Amino acid sequence: MLFDKTTPGAAIRGVADRLLVTAGETVDEIVASDAFSTTLARGMALAATTTASVRGVTHAVGDVASAWLNVPTRQQVIELSRRMTNLEMLLDDVDAKTSELIERLGDRDAGD
């Protein structure tokens, strides 16, 4: 196979592999440095705040459009979803209690 160890291309492949190893070690050292960590942290905070302001505008436009179309706003849908999840959990609690009750009744019947 071309670039295998037994072919003339092996030399090229060997150089490429060594380059990758060296580049890997160099980049690993860079990402492990405090300078990289601080830059990354600042970058994440900046990206989050910048996109948040853009998102704020998008959501405001969306809310106006929702009102105009007489459909629920994004926030209302989010609230609805949260309520549904709470309801699901309550129903699950009721199911658990009912199962427990049925089990106790079953035990009592068995005792009788």
Cβ at position 100, least distance to other proteins in Å:
5
The reply to whether 106 sits near other proteins by the rule CB under 8 A is yes
Cα separation of 23 and 19, whole Å?
Answer: 6
For the bound state, the minimum distance from the C-beta of residue 22 to other proteins, rounded and expressed in Å, comes to: 9
Q: Which of residues 62-101 bind other proteins (CB under 8 A)?
A: 77-78, 81-82, 85, 88-89, 92, 96, 99-100
Closer to other proteins by Cβ: residue 28 or 111: 28
Q: Which is nearer to other proteins, 49 or 70 (CB)?
A: 49
DSSP 72: -
Nearest alpha-carbon partner for 66 in 76, 57, 56: 76
Please report the sign of the dihedral spanned by the C-alpha atoms of residue 69, residue 75, residue 76, residue 82: positive
DSSP 53: H
66 Cβ contact partners less than 8 Å away, ≥ 6 residues apart? 72, 73, 74
Given 11, 12, 15, 31, the residue binding other proteins (CB under 8 A): 31
- Asked whether the beta carbons of 104 and 112 are under 8 A apart, the reply is no
Contact positions vs other proteins (CB under 8 A): 1-3, 6-7, 20, 23-24, 27-28, 31-32, 34, 36-38, 40-42, 44-45, 48-49, 51-52, 55, 77-78, 81-82, 85, 88-89, 92, 96, 99-100, 102-103, 106
